[in-house]
């Protein structure tokens, strides 16, 4: 909730901060993703040494401070204000680089191997609820009380997060005191080789997410809808899917399940792209909503399966590093998707189709990679 409740309103915030703010919309997600990706190797390694909870505390605390400082950007000159905003997006991304990495390692520790797909589905359901509910509440809070109130609500959720975390038990068997050497990062701490297949699929699948983050609030605005409209349909469909098919990968396997998820991703992205080609407003909204629902189906299938596959492939002593590699792939994919909008999208409805083609192509590549990996693996056994 804390991370996602501010996202739908950030595009308007950037436009208000600087006269040329509309040209920097893609940087809102990109900067967040860059710092999150950079911090992942450190958070993963620290989670395996000093403990899961301490890494989570670091992330939640930085997120709280970032939310409290966002309103400052609006009180400064346009240049200084937008630079301050960009710095805060970097800091907030650092927070996101720590909290989910430590939390995922902790969840992996406590899940039984035979039910990892189901367990990750439950874990992912709560992520989706926070994600979707935050997106839906964003515009309502801003319209009634202003953007600064939205930042304070995000800060309040960060405080609640810290309070809830205090009740968790540390799952790392023998946490160590912090040492500087824990911050020495090697290539294996960035790209944990055993989990790379899952990381590749994560990267390809979330390119569409980066595009969706940037453009769907714009589409909803064009249509006169709540900026969180897309994510309202997304969250309902993804929760329903997670409740009923989270254990599917425990039965038919991770890769076969992911192929199904990527097919739905392709259908979702193409549906949203095509929706803008209709002239009738009601038809556009209907097709757009169907695309959002299909997006929820896709992530409901793929997300817990990728998490479970990462857990399967991770070495027990390096679960934090494995989770870090997976999240690096996530952030990099979102970053690629959001950057692509700066090239393909020019703030008009006419360029929406072109922007979404990038995501559709990535989904097709993901399907091809999974099919190749499945055939290659089975040919060796």
Is residue 21 predicted with pLDDT exceeding 80?
no
Could you give the CA distance from residue 57 to residue 61 in angstroms, rounded to a whole number? 6
Is residue 61 predicted with pLDDT exceeding 90?
yes
Could you give the CA distance from residue 106 to residue 101 in angstroms, rounded to a whole number? 9
Could you give the CA distance from residue 213 to residue 211 in angstroms, rounded to a whole number? 5
Residues in the chain: 381
The proportion of the chain whose per-residue pLDDT surpasses 70, expressed as a percent, equals 99
Is residue 302 predicted with pLDDT exceeding 80?
yes
- The listed range with the strongest mean pLDDT (34-38, 64-68, 92-96, 309-313) is 64-68
Could you give the CA distance from residue 112 to residue 110 in angstroms, rounded to a whole number? 7
Question: What pLDDT does residue 378 have?
Answer: 60
Write down the pTM of the prediction. 0.77
Task: Write down the domain spans for the chain.
Answer: 7-167+189-379
Could you tell me which residues come within 8 angstroms of residue 272 by beta carbon, excluding any fewer than 6 positions away? 212, 216, 219, 230, 287, 288, 291, 292, 295, 356
Q: Is 146 helix (H, G, I), strand (E, B) or coil?
A: coil
Buried b (16+ CB within 10 A) or exposed e, 267-301: bbbbbbbbbbeeeeeeebbebbbbbbbbbbbbbbb
- In this structure, are residues 235 and 105 in contact, taking their beta carbons and an 8 Å threshold? no
Could you tell me which residues come within 8 angstroms of residue 251 by beta carbon, excluding any fewer than 6 positions away? none
- In this structure, are residues 76 and 224 in contact, taking their beta carbons and an 8 Å threshold? no
CATH number for the region 7-167+189-379 comes to 1.20.1250.20
Give pLDDT tens digits for 216-265: 888 888 888 877 788 889 888 988 888 778 778 888 989 999 999 999 99
């Amino acid at each position: 909730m804390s991370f996602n409740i501010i996202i739908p309103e950030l595009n308007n915030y950037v436009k208000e901060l600087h006269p040329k703010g509309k040209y920097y919309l893609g940087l809102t997600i990109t900067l967040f993703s860059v710092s999150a990706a950079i911090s992942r190797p450190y958070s993963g390694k620290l989670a395996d040494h000093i403990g899961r909870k301490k890494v989570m505390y670091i992330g939640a605390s930085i997120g709280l401070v970032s939310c409290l400082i966002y309103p400052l950007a609006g009180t400064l000159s346009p240049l200084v204000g937008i630079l301050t905003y960009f710095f805060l997006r970097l800091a907030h991304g650092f927070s996101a680089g720590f909290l989910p990495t430590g939390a995922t390692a902790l969840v992996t520790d406590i899940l039984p191997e035979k039910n990892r797909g189901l367990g990750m589905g439950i874990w992912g359901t709560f992520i989706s609820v926070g994600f979707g509910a935050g997106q839906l509440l964003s515009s309502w809070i801003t319209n009634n009380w202003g953007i600064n109130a939205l930042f304070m609500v995000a800060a309040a959720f960060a405080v609640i997060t810290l309070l809830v975390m205090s009740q968790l038990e540390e799952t790392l068997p023998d946490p160590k005191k912090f040492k500087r050497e824990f911050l020495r990062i090697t290539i294996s701490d960035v790209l944990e080789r055993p989990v790379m297949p899952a990381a590749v699929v994560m990267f390809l699948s979330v390119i569409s997410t980066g595009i969706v983050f940037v453009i769907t609030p714009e589409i909803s605005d064009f249509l006169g809808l709540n900026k969180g409209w897309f994510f309202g349909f997304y969250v309902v469909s993804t929760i329903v899917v997670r409740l009923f098919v989270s254990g599917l990968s425990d039965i038919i396997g991770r890769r076969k399940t992911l192929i199904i998820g990527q097919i739905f991703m392709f259908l979702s992205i193409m549906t949203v792209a095509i929706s803008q080609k209709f002239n009738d407003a009601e038809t556009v909204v209907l097709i757009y909503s169907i695309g959002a629902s299909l997006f929820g189906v896709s992530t409901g299938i793929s997300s817990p399966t990728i998490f479970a596959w990462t857990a399967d492939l991770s070495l027990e002593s390096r679960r934090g590093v494995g989770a870090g590699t997976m999240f690096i792939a996530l952030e990099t994919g979102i970053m690629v998707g959001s950057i692509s909008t700066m090239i393909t999208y020019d703030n008009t409805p006419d360029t929406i189709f072109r922007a979404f083609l990038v995501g559709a192509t990535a989904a097709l590549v993901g399907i091809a990679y999974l099919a190749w990996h499945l055939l290659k693996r089975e040919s060796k056994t």
